[in-house]
């Protein structure tokens, strides 16, 4: 069995029991630090990656750029990696299926596809079209003939396009269409999240960001969540430090925020150690 095959199998196994955290790096360095700190798997973040290119979130990166970036994250460590591929960078089911095929080709162990159109206001695809997109993606994932965790996202609650009941209707349909993992980012509260989890038999991913950042892994596990991601939250937390420290330096001549910086020796050690994790 090849090293990549072991990664794919390990990733699939992680989704079968318990509750694990999958942090979201935005470059090879952050991936290696997360690996050195004990991450079991990684997921890309479309927003975090866009920030590294000096671009805003949502629809600002191309499929080719996202695939090349994901391939860099796969190569950075020996951990399994899932790709955050927005709406699959396509509207039609066939083109979404092609995105899955390409994701498999670069060595990803899974990926997520949203039911959101990349246009102003982020409207949701009509349910029938959303389901066809998931069905095509799931078929493409199975055609890889190796473990690949395909996650179908219902983003309308987070984007204000529909309510929790509609999200449940969608993920139930996505489950029937072949998705391996379901995901409704940022429902109104932890009770709604637990209701979402109970509405399907496949595992559910939850986003620990915004109002959900106050909960612990134990809280998510009690709600029945199998996987916890942070999306762009860690990248944005890093940008918060950048903003605050730079503002202090430029506006007040205050360099004290830099006293909290990690030592170069510590970072160097983790970059080396993270590259050896597998």
Structural domain boundaries enclosing 178: 3-276
The reported pLDDT for the residue numbered 1 is 73
Look at the block and give the residue holding tokens 């986003």: 207
Sheet containing 227-229: order of strands: 20-22, 227-229, 204-207, 181-183, 149-153, 110-113, 81-84, 42-43
CA angle, corner 59, sides to 55 and 61, nearest 5?
Answer: 55
The reported pLDDT for the residue numbered 58 is 75
Whole-number Å distance between alpha carbons of 126 and 10: 35
The reported pLDDT for the residue numbered 247 is 98
**178 Cβ partners below 8 Å, 6+ apart?**
134, 135, 138, 139, 141, 142, 150
The reported pLDDT for the residue numbered 122 is 86
The reported pLDDT for the residue numbered 53 is 96
Number of domains the chain is built from: 1
The reported pLDDT for the residue numbered 60 is 87
Whole-number Å distance between alpha carbons of 277 and 272: 9
What letters, b where the CB count within 10 A reaches 16 and e where it falls short, cover 203-220?
bbbbbbbeebeebeeebb
Task: List, for residues 1-41, the tens digit of each pLDDT value.
Answer: 788 899 999 999 999 999 999 999 999 999 999 999 999 99
Q: Are 224 and 194 in contact (CB under 8 A)?
A: yes
pTM of the model: 0.96
Look at the block and give the residue holding tokens 């095509």: 136
The reported pLDDT for the residue numbered 218 is 98
Task: List, for residues 138-161, the tens digit of each pLDDT value.
Answer: 999 999 999 999 999 999 999 999
| CATH number of domain containing 179 | 3.20.20.60
What letters, b where the CB count within 10 A reaches 16 and e where it falls short, cover 87-125?
bbbbeebeebbbbbebbbebbbbbbbbbbbbbeeebbbb
Distances in Å between the Cα of 252 and the Cα atoms of 29, 32, 125, 239, 256 are 31, 34, 48, 19, 11
The candidate with the shortest Cα–Cα distance to 153, out of 206, 199, 211, is 206
Whole-number Å distance between alpha carbons of 72 and 66: 10
Q: Digits of tens for pLDDT over the chain (278 positions)?
A: 788 899 999 999 999 999 999 999 999 999 999 999 999 999 999 999 999 999 988 778 999 999 999 999 999 999 999 999 999 999 999 999 999 999 999 999 999 999 999 888 889 999 999 999 999 999 999 999 999 999 999 999 999 999 999 999 999 999 999 999 999 999 999 999 999 999 999 999 999 999 999 999 999 999 999 999 999 999 999 999 999 999 999 999 999 999 999 999 999 999 999 999 98
Q: Are 138 and 173 in contact (CB under 8 A)?
A: no
- The percentage of the chain sitting over the pLDDT mark of 70, rounded to a whole number, equals 100
């Amino acid at each position: 069995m090849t090293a990549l095959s072991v990664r794919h199998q390990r990733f699939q196994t992680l989704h079968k029991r318990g509750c694990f955290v999958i942090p979201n790096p935005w470059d090879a360095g952050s991936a290696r630090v997360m690996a050195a700190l004990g991450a079991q798997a990684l997921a890309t973040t479309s927003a975090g990656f866009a920030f590294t290119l000096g671009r805003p979130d949502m629809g600002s990166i191309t499929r080719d750029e996202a695939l090349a970036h994901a391939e860099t994250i796969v190569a950075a460590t020996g951990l399994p990696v899932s790709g955050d591929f927005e709406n699959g960078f396509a509207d039609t089911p066939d083109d979404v299926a092609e995105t899955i095929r390409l994701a498999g080709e670069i060595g990803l162990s899974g990926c997520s596809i949203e039911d959101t159109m990349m246009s102003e206001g982020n409207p949701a695809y009509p349910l029938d079209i959303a389901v066809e997109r998931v069905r095509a993606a799931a078929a493409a994932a199975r055609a890889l003939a190796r473990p690949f965790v395909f996650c179908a996202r219902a983003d309308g609650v987070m984007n204000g396009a529909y309510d929790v009941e509609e999200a449940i209707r969608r993920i139930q349909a996505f489950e029937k269409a072949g998705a391996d993992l379901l995901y409704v980012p940022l429902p109104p509260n932890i009770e709604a999240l637990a209701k979402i989890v109970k509405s399907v038999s496949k595992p559910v991913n939850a986003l620990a960001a915004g109002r959900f950042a106050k909960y612990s892994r134990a809280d998510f596990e009690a709600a029945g969540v199998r996987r916890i991601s942070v999306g762009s939250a860690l990248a944005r937390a890093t940008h918060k430090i950048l903003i605050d420290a730079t503002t202090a330096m430029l506006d007040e001549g205050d360099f004290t925020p830099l006293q909290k910086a990690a030592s170069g020796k510590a970072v160097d050690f983790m970059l080396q150690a993270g590259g050896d994790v597998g």
